[in-house]
C-alpha cells in the first residue's frame, strides 16, 4: 500500500484499513483524518480508545519513501458497527486539536512577536516546538479573555500580517509545532493532470474603496466624528463603490493607514476548485501552479489510495490575505 497507519508506537493496523480521507484548511488548526477499518477477527483487535496516539504516513506519487502525513496524531473519536462484518470508524487529529478545543486567558505585553507567544502557548499545553521561525513583527499589548488558544494564536498571526509581516499558518509536524509561511514550500507542484476544475468569480467580498479612521475620541464629553486618516480606492469606476471602513487603534499615521487601506483593496474575487490525482503531501498554505498561475491552497482534501484523489480549493495570495488575515 502507499500508506501506513500505526497505532501507539508499533501496532500496524494498515491491513485493516478500508479507506482514509484527510482534510487540512486555513480556517482550522488541526489536520484531520477519517479512517474506516474492517475487522476480520475480534481476538486480535487493538485498543482504539480516544486519546490513543496514532500516526499516518504515505508515499508521495513521485517518491519512494514513506513520509509522515499526520504525526503525532491522536484518536479523537471511535465508532463501531457490526452488520456481519465489524467496522470501526476513527476520527483522528494532530495534537494541535488541544489548542483548538482548550480555553484560557492570557495577558501579553507589547513588543512580543507571534513566535514568542506561540512558544508560550505550546509550553503551557505540553506541545513540542519544532523548527522556530521568527515572525519579526512586534505586536501590541493583548488581553485575551476566555477564548480558545487557537483564536488567540490566529489573532497574533493576523496582526502580524496586517502590520506588514508575512502570512503564517501553524502546522504540527513530526518535529513539533511550527509556523509555516504561506507559499514558502520548496517544491511547487504544477497541477496539470486534472480530473475536474471549477472557477468562481464574484464581487462578494470585493472592496474597491477603504476609509481608515483614527480611534474614536470625544470633546467636552460629546462624541465627535472620527478623524479620517486616509481614503484609498481602486476599481470604483469599473465595479462600483464597495466601501470598507476600518478603525484600528494601532494605526497612528497617514502612511501606516495608507498601507493598511491598500491591503484591503481587492476587486473581483476569484477562486478555483480542482480535483486531481492525489499528491498527499500538499497542505493548506502551500503554493501550487495552475495554468501558469501561482495560487495558494486554502483547503486540501485527500482520499488516500492506489491511486488516490485530492480536491484543492485555491486562491491568489491577495485574496487569501483579504479573506483570512485582514477581516
Query: pLDDT at position 216, please?
Result: 67
**Fold assignment, 183-206+266-327:** Elongation Factor Tu (Ef-tu); domain 3 (2.40.30)
pLDDT bin (cut points 50, 70, 90) of residue 257 is confident
Over range 22-38, report the average pLDDT: 94
**Fold assignment, 96-181:** Phage tail protein beta-alpha-beta fold (3.55.50)
pLDDT at 65 over 90: no
CA distance 79 to 56: 19
pLDDT bin (cut points 50, 70, 90) of residue 277 is very high
3-class SS at 121? Answer: helix
User: Which of 20-45 are b and which e, b meaning 16 or more Cβ less than 10 Å from the residue's Cβ?
Assistant: bbbbbbbebbbbbbebebebeeeeee
Query: pLDDT at position 291, please?
Result: 93
DSSP structural state of residue 66:
-
Over range 119-143, report the average pLDDT: 93
CA–centroid distance for 135 within its chain: 16
Question: How many other C-beta atoms can be found within 10 angstroms of the C-beta atom of residue 144?
Answer: 19
Cα atoms in the Cβ-side hemisphere of radius 13 Å centred on 30 = 23
pLDDT at 17 over 70: yes
pLDDT in tens, 190-243: 998 899 999 999 898 889 999 998 876 666 667 777 888 899 999 999 999 999
Cα atoms in the Cβ-side hemisphere of radius 13 Å centred on 192 = 4
Range among 116-120, 159-163, 192-196 with highest mean pLDDT value: 116-120
Query: What is the share, in percent, of the chain residues with pLDDT greater than 70?
Result: 97
pLDDT at 320 over 80: yes
Is 3-94 a domain of CATH 1.10.760? no
CA–centroid distance for 133 within its chain: 17
Q: What residue ranges do the domains of the chain occupy?
A: 3-94, 96-181, 183-206+266-327, 207-262
pLDDT higher for 223 or 151? 151
CB 235 within 8 A of CB 264: no
Query: pLDDT at position 233, please?
Result: 93
| CA-based R_g, the chain, Å | 23
Query: pLDDT at position 240, please?
Result: 94
What would the grid cell of residue 320 be? 487569501
Q: Omega of the bond prior to 85 within 30 degrees of 0, cis?
A: no
Q: Name the least confident of 10-24, 40-54, 210-224.
A: 210-224
pLDDT at 63 over 80: no
Written as one string, the DSSP assignment of 132-178 is -----PPPPPEEEEEEEHHHHHHHHHHHHHHTT---EEEEEETTEEE
pLDDT at 250 over 90: no
CA distance 230 to 233: 10
CA distance 190 to 279: 11
CA distance 232 to 159: 21
Amino acid at each position: 500500500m502507499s500508506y501506513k497507519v500505526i497505532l501507539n508506537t508499533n501496532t500496524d493496523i494498515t491491513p485493516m484499513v478500508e479507506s482514509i480521507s484527510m482534510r487540512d484548511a486555513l480556517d482550522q488548526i488541526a489536520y484531520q483524518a477519517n479512517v474506516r477499518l474492517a475487522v476480520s477477527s475480534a481476538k486480535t483487535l487493538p485498543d482504539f480508545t480516544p486519546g490513543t496516539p496514532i500516526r499516518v504516513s504515505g508515499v508521495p506519487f513521485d517518491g519512494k519513501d514513506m513520509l509522515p502525513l499526520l504525526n503525532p496524531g491522536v484518536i479523537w473519536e471511535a465508532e463501531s458497527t457490526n452488520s456481519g462484518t465489524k467496522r470501526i470508524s476513527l476520527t483522528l487529529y494532530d495534537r494541535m486539536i488541544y489548542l483548538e478545543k482548550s480555553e484560557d486567558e492570557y495577558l501579553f505585553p507589547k513588543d512580543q512577536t507571534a513566535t514568542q507567544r506561540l512558544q508560550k502557548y505550546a509550553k503551557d499545553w505540553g506541545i513540542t516546538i519544532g523548527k522556530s521561525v521568527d515572525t519579526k513583527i512586534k505586536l501590541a499589548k493583548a488581553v485575551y479573555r476566555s477564548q480558545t488558544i487557537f483564536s488567540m494564536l490566529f489573532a497574533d498571526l493576523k496582526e502580524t500580517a496586517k502590520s506588514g509581516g508575512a502570512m503564517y499558518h501553524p502546522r504540527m509536524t513530526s518535529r513539533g509545532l511550527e509556523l509555516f509561511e504561506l507559499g514558502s514550500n520548496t517544491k511547487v507542484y504544477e497541477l496539470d493532470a486534472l480530473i475536474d476544475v471549477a472557477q468562481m468569480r464574484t464581487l462578494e467580498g470585493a472592496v474597491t474603496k477603504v476609509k481608515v479612521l483614527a480611534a474614536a475620541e470625544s470633546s467636552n464629553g460629546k462624541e465627535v466624528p472620527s478623524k479620517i486618516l486616509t481614503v484609498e480606492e481602486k476599481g470604483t469606476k469599473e465595479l462600483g463603490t464597495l466601501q470598507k471602513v476600518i478603525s484600528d487603534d494601532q494605526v497612528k499615521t497617514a502612511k501606516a493607514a495608507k498601507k493598511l487601506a491598500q491591503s484591503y483593496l481587492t476587486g473581483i474575487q476569484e477562486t478555483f476548485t480542482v480535483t486531481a490525482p492525489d499528491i498527499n503531501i500538499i497542505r493548506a498554505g502551500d503554493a501550487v501552479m495552475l495554468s501558469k498561475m501561482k495560487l495558494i491552497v486554502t483547503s486540501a482534501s485527500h482520499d488516500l489510495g492506489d491511486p488516490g484523489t485530492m480536491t484543492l480549493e485555491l486562491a491568489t495570495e491577495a485574496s487569501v490575505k483579504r479573506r483570512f488575515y485582514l477581516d
